[in-house]
Structure 1
């Protein structure tokens, strides 16, 4: 039986009819206060400038070339996947396109390419390929696709391995289907050579912490003990990180005690970062500093993530002198700030309304040869918007147009919000359509932002129309694996 993945008609963020109606609506949704406002078009990534002063801000040409080649390869293989005649393609091209799609977390593309892979005359089903796809579907919260992919694995004549089952557990658990995840683990116990191991249970624990089902953790640990499965450092780190993010500090410290008393699991830098991150994010600066010293006494050295956590924590607490002290500490010990470090500093000063300091670090970042990314621009736009500096938002948009930065949905949400709050409905609507061109799917934040802007401008009918489209889009049936 030939089974195919994904109905290609449902691959896009909205149906063609939805796009058409949105386009028609947007054409008439002009700002009554400024109907002649020009439209803003975000241009495609332009050719790199030969100017050396600008090139320092950009990635090397070979990096951009690699990105473009990857994108072109995936699209070329996808086009062939929609046809029934391609069954003798070059193995390297198909397999590399599949790996690229998986690495880029493009699950729809990955499944279409996998469909094409299965049609090839040289195709040999392997559990390793299914495992990679199941892990991807788990990260992308696609449990139905994962379930049907598991069925296809069996139709290919394969016996699921331990890794396949563990990936399926993660796909269910990360999507909130804990009952199915636990049932899968129970089933594994009855399958020869597929008994759940410590990694399987660590994945299950991770799913429980992300869903705040901390009541299930003790049950899992008891079951592991009964089966003679000992926790590893990874298991304890997963539990500690989960408790910490939920601000269950007593349970976090108790788990740390269990970890150190086990005799086999030693805390590491991940444990270190979980502790100071938990206390720092909740504003417990003294506890954060205490544990920072404790871990150093244990001989565990901080890494870049540690310093980034400290900078963000001090910034959120308004302790900007200490934030600077951390950066000075890094400089003296030859730790080079990363793009993440600069993004955090820019965000913190922006949130505080200190535009001058924010711009100072933005320039310093570029002078050090670091290329701003979508996160950087999002922080700048948000800060300028709050300060009422729409002229500077326009300046950021010009920078984006002249760069090859990869834009994402959060950036579009930020820029749409900026123009919406400024009452520039025309630009806001144009940016919404540009999202489709950039393959960025609008989310609930996008719709809520636009609806709020329409209401603020007295465009009640437009707001209701967009709200109805959002409800219709959310009510559409999900993508399905289909057979033929």
Structure 2
């Protein structure tokens, strides 16, 4: 029996003399109107002190009194005593229910609850059980901060937790990208607070993979093996996905190495494994590697799904192989369980639109085909068509499509819709229409983004109006947008083309002051500008500065060196840096 003195519970008054059998009978038969008591706290204490440990009357009275919202709610020590009695009696469903209500009410902070539990005098095993359920509920129903506070209190009071409570906490922290806190929780677990299991490792590996910290994710997989926890297909898939998200050849090579390790570990790859690898190869423009993976997948008896085909079709379209993409679409339509989605059609429509005027009619026919199959076009479909018309110079068709879909049908446009239209009208130099697009954005409550401003800045600077482009750059700060390298480079290039080198250099200084270091494009613009002015030594100094800062010259840099320097009789001196002019 728990100590009432330790819990500081209310004492029974002389008027609170209860007949236990009669009281229990009234409560169990829910005869609440016949129940006479002066203090709900005193009655609950009397019920909890039952020598036979019959908890049903106390539990039913507690729930009824709580529903009635009596003037004085039960004090926290009484609440905790009921929780501890439920835990020691293995009444776990009732324990979870009461803790759920306690957390949901937010009357008592975690610190108060844990303190009340700690001073109860209950056995450590019972306290740990209640703390475990409480942390689980806080991690799932409350804020991550409340759950972290509960975890810290549990550690301070020496309670032993389980992965059942720690894993939801880790998941909550990973979801909020709070990796440092998640790693501290993990370290406390392995130091004895809780034994990490497969879900623990998969959760924290997912967090590091999502953040691109792949070496840490890989180290954790080694750690789990050392602790006797075998990685699962989910573990390998998570790390493969992380490497594929890194992109470039290096990421894909690492993903391939993890795939090989997976096979050697006798973990069978599943459809998600292959879809991740196929998507990674297609995104990097290596369709041949994606095709090999697809063939390997079929050899292993795995059937492709809609995601598999969407990845492959997108890869083919990115390489302009439209006939093959259409054949794969037909193969997809003929297969079992591989019905095309609007994403499938959007990939092919985008592929046709990139070919500009040549294939716009084919793209429009695909929209009709999708509709006939019951696949409704979405905003991406229409944005792709509008963008295709704008890039092919057919701004009238883009404007007509906007009017028929977004104005007449009431389809909601987004920022991509307006950015495409702005690009089209910018290229056509139609200021009146550009203002119309701006008004349409305001009417639909769509705010301009970085792309919007960069397009407008590019339009102004490309037409000799770089001072106005600079004003738009300043406006970006006012509306809460941070200019990108593209934003600065567009204005710098504009000033250089206009011969206003002083303004360009001033903007470079501002750019650096605002935390943006010049990149290869910035240096290329300045080097070309000084070459055009005949200031070869100044251009040469900038080339050396570029190399000294660790920036790698690109094709445009080499073209400038050849066309503007060497062809004009000036051989650059690169101060010990290795530089080979390309032919």
User: Structure 1 length as normaliser, TM-score?
Assistant: 0.68
Indicate yes or no: 2:204 matched with 1:204. no
Task: Find the partner of 1:243 among 329, 347, 352.
Answer: 352
Aligned residue number for residue 396 of structure 2 = 286
Query: Cα gap change, 1:141/1:303 in structure 2, threshold over 3 Å: closer, same or farther?
Result: farther
Select the residue among 324, 329, 333 that pairs with 2:440. 329
The answer to whether the aligner puts 1:153 opposite 2:262 as a matched pair is yes
The answer on whether the counterparts of 1:97 and 1:113 sit within 8 Å (CA) in structure 2 is: yes
2:430 pairs with 1:316: no
Contact between 1:435 and 1:442, CA under 8 Å: does it hold in 2? no
- Render the CA deviation track for 1:177-206: whole Å, top value 9, x for unaligned: 3333223223323434x3111111011011
**Structure 1 residue ranges without an equivalent (≥5):** 1-65, 74-89, 103-109, 473-484
Q: CA deviation at 1:173?
A: 3.0
8 Å CA contact retained: 1:280, 1:313: yes
Deviation string 1:21-69 (CA, Å, 9 cap, x unpaired) is xxxxxxxxxxxxxxxxxxxxxxxxxxxxxxxxxxxxxxxxxxxxx99x9
Change (3 A) 1:430 1:101: farther
Give the Cα–Cα distance (whole angstroms) in 2 for the partners of residues 397 and 214 of structure 1.
Answer: 43
- 8 Å contact 1:419–1:427 — kept in the other structure? no
Structure 2 counterpart SS, 1:455: helix
> Which residue of structure 2 aligns with residue 347 of structure 1?
458
Q: Judging changes above 3 Å, is the alpha-carbon distance between structure 1 residues 431 and 100 closer, same or farther for their aligned structure 2 residues?
A: farther
**2-side partners of 1:305 and 1:130: how far apart?**
32
Separation in 1, partners of 2:298, 2:383: 35
User: What is the CA deviation profile of residues 311-347 of structure 1, one whole-angstrom value per residue up to 9, with x for unaligned ones?
Assistant: 1110011112211221122234433222221121111
The answer to whether the Cα contact below 8 Å between 1:373 and 1:406 also exists between their aligned partners in 2 is no
Name 1:181's counterpart in structure 2. Answer: 290
1:306 aligns with 2:306: no
Residue in structure 1 matching 2:387, options 249, 257, 277: 277
The CA RMSD over aligned residues, in Å, is 3.3
| Structure-2 separation of matches of 1:306 and 1:447 | 37
Aligned residues: 374
**Residues 350 and 383 of structure 1 are in contact (CA less than 8 Å); yes or no, is this contact kept in structure 2?**
yes
Hey, what does 1:219 align to over in structure 2? 327
Matching of residue 425 in structure 1 with residue 533 in structure 2: no
In 2, Cα distance between the equivalents of 1:416 and 1:132?
40
1:1-150 correspondence runs (5 A):
97-101=208-212, 110=214, 112-120=215-223, 121-122=226-227, 125=231, 126-136=235-245, 138=247, 143-150=252-259
Q: 2:89 aligns to what?
A: none
> For residues 439-472 of structure 1, what are the alpha-carbon distances to aligned partners after superposition, in whole Å with 9 as ceiling and x for unaligned?
x544323333344443266223759x98963679
Aligned to 1:48: none
Quick check: 2:350–2:384 contact (8 Å CA) kept in 1?
yes
Could you tell me how far 1:412 is from its partner in structure 2? 4.4
Residues 239/145 of structure 1: CA separation in 2 closer, same or farther (3 Å cut) = same
Q: CA offsets per residue over residues 70-118 of structure 1, 9 Å max, x none?
A: 9xx9xxxxxxxxxxxxxxxx9899875543226xxxxxxx4x4455444
CA distance in 1, matches of 2:321, 2:367: 19
CA, structure 1 residues 369+209, in 2 after alignment: closer, same or farther (shift >3 Å)?
Answer: same
What's 2:150 paired with? none
* TM-score (norm. length: structure 2): 0.58
Q: 1:177 to 1:402 in 2, by over 3 A?
A: closer
Unaligned runs of 5+ in 2: 1-175, 184-199
Distance in 1 between residues matched to 2:269 and 2:207, nearest whole Å:
24
- Higher RCO structure (Cα 8 Å, ≥6 apart): 1
